[in-house]
Every structure is written in C-alpha cells, then in structure tokens.
Amino acid sequence: MKVTINDVAKYAGVSIKTVSRVTNNEPSVRQATIDKVNQAIAALNYQPNVAARNLAGTKSYVIAFVYDNPNAYYVIDMQNGILSSCKQRGYELLIHPCDAKSDNICQELVDMVRHARLSGLVLTPPLSEDPKVLAALDQINANYVRIIAGEEVSTTDGLSILVNDKHGAVSITQHLIDLGHKNIAFLSGDHQHESTKERLAGFKAALQSNHLSLDESNIINGQYSFESGVEGAKTLLAKANRPTAIVACNDEIAAGALFAARLAGVAIPDELSIVGFEDSPFSRQTWPKLTTVHQPNKLIAQTATELLIENQGNKQSETAHQVFIPEPVLRDSSASPKA
C-alpha cells in the first residue's frame, strides 16, 4: 500500500501543510519540525509525488539534461551525475537529446522549458557554448548551468562549470615529451566543441614550451568517434616521416587509432605511443590500456546540478563557478621511443 502525505503527517504528529512545507524546502520551518518530518519520511519510505507538487505550487522540481554528444559513455556519466543530485534534492530528471546543428534548436529548447515547466537546464557542449542558444534561453529568463571548456572564469559565464582542457592537453603532451618523443601528432575532435580547440591549444603550447617545431601535417581534423581515430591514424602511419606518438582528442579516437595501428602491424607502445583524453571506459577496454587524461564527468555533472539548484535565478552568485583540472593517468600505451 502506497504511503501518502497523510501517513507522514500522522506519524510525525504535524499537519499535512507542514509536511508539504518541509518537502518543498520552504523557509520559516523550525529545524526541530524539519527533523521530525524527515524522520517520518525515512521511517515510512515516503516518496513525494513530484508531478503533483509541480502542479500544486509555483516552484518546479524538474531539471533537464540537454545534450548532443555521440559518446554514450559521456552521456551516461553525465546522466548519472545529474540524477544523483536530483534524487538528493527531490527533483526529477528530464533527458533531452537534440541536434545542436538544427536550425530550430533555439525554439525547440524554449518550447521544452515552457511546456515542461522546468526548474532549470544542465547544458553540455556544444549547446552550452552556443551564443544563440544562450540568448534564446535568457530571453525567457530560463535557469541553466553550463558545462564548458575554459581556463578562467568570466563574469559573463553565468552559472558554469569549467573544465580546463588546455591544462590536461599540456600535461599529457608533456608526458610524451618527457619520454623522449619529438615527432608527435594530434588527432582532433569536432571543432564545434570548444574542448577540441582547448586541447589543440594545449598540445601546441607544450610543443612550443619545449622548443619543438610543429608539423602542421601532423594535425588531423576529425570527429569524436572511433572511426575518425582509425582514419586519422591511417593517414599518419602512411607518412614517410611518421610520428612516434599520437595525442588523441578523446579516448574513443585514441582507441580507433590503436586499432588501426595494430592492423598495420605497428607495435604499441614500442613503435608508437598513443594517448587519449577523458579516462572513459574506452581507455580501459583496449589492449594495451590507454594512457589518458582523467576527466570526472559524473562528478562534474553532479556539481553542475548542485550549483543550479542552489543558485536558481542568481547567476551572479559568488559560488556561481567551479573549475575542474583534468590530470594524466599513466597506463601501458605510452613509452620511450626506440632509438
């Protein structure tokens, strides 16, 4: 038999209205009363009806996760992180995949906010980095938090989680240089994502700081996919002066590059070192396992959701920004080049 708000009120010895005020996190409720109601909720395993709560009050308890990303591991990590925070705070999660390149993307998101009565949105790249999308959401005063690539917090970023991709790329490229590699290539992801630009900038910065010349033919444009890694590696391995190491823009690309190298009979890491980015399951499912850069996507998403809930309508809050610094994870796909 389903536990109701009446059961909670009776168990706690308070009115139904008091239980409602506690579950809605309304102010001016004594802490002793809050504790009493929460104890009753826990004892009875009461689950508030979020849909009814949305209809009954002026405050919404639904958060949307909006994304356009082909990497299933990334999406699952983000989803789990957001869901974790939603459950802790009594919110529901609406998952909304979309096409960021669509001509109607702005109207699509505006309609979703209005029809679903959203409390806020968690935006991931490239949507979180699209000025048109942000302007459309600002026009209707929508609450949102952005997960974006960047080094420094800007007052124009609003609620945002920054991932310092450039630092991660500098670190992983420096790892290869410290091993003795001088001829290093870069397999790019989609340039629609700022993370691609930041990771490429970090790669170039590491070469420059070590006084290594940049061979532009070693930079291969591509997408965030396994197939892109395969094709990019084939191009690099066909060069007369082929590189001794490859920095891939994410682990999926790196896994594709490793696959292509093995098909070509190139030993990893004896003849070619390959490193990735993000520390996704791809990095642990290859043979050898990939050296990569750890990016805690679940924690990033969880933190973004907490930021959104705590600062709704206050985009200039002193706690409106947090920065994550990705760091290298050394495994078996990188080693010193053979003389």
Question: Residue 70 contacts by C-beta under 8 Å, 6 or more apart in sequence?
Answer: 223, 224, 225
Residue 272 has pLDDT above 70, yes or no: yes
Number of other residues whose CB lies within 10 A of the CB of residue 290: 28
Domains along the chain with CATH numbers: 5-48 (1.10.260.40), 62-164+296-325 (3.40.50.2300), 165-294 (3.40.50.2300)
The pLDDT confidence band at residue 51, using thresholds 50, 70 and 90, is: very low
d(CA 38, CA 46): 10
Alpha-carbon distances of 108 from 112, 137, 138, 178, rounded to whole Å: 6, 11, 14, 48
Confidence check: pLDDT of 317 > 70: no
| Residue 199 CB neighbours (<10 A) | 29
State the pLDDT confidence band at 55, using cuts at 50, 70 and 90: very low
Residue with the larger pLDDT of the pair 32 and 210: 210
Percentage of residues in the chain having pLDDT higher than 90: 65
pLDDT at 37 > cutoff 50: yes
Res 120: pLDDT: 93
pLDDT score for 21: 72
Q: How far apart are CA 201 and CA 193, in angstroms?
A: 13
Q: Flag the least confident range among 32-41, 62-71, 138-147.
A: 32-41
Give residues with Cβ within 8 angstroms of 154, minimum separation 6: none
- Rg of the chain over Cα atoms, rounded to whole angstroms, equals 24
pLDDT beyond 50 at 178: yes
pLDDT attached to residue 12? 87
Instruction: Check pLDDT > 80 for residue 231.
Output: yes
Helix 251-263 and helix 226-237, axial crossing angle in degrees, nearest 10: 50
Contact predicate 290/275, CB 8 Å: yes
pLDDT at 339 over 80: no
Instruction: Name the H helices within the chain.
Output: 5-12, 16-23, 31-44, 50-56, 72-89, 105-116, 131-139, 165-179, 194-209, 226-237, 251-263, 282-285, 297-310
Reported pTM: 0.79
As a whole number, the mean pLDDT across the chain is: 88
Q: Looking at residue 42, what is its pLDDT?
A: 79
At 89-100, the pLDDT tens digits run 888 899 999 999
CA atoms of 105 and 327, how far apart (whole Å): 34
Q: Who wins on pLDDT, 255 or 156?
A: 255
| The two three-digit tokens of residue 319, written as one number | 């706690």
Q: Sheet holding 273-275: strands in order across?
A: 219-220, 184-187, 245-248, 273-275
C-alpha angle 137/140/145, rounded to 5°?
A: 40
Residues in the chain: 339
Of the ranges 205-209, 241-245, 321-325, which one carries the lowest mean pLDDT score? 321-325
Digit-coded pLDDT (tens) for 133-143 = 999 999 999 99
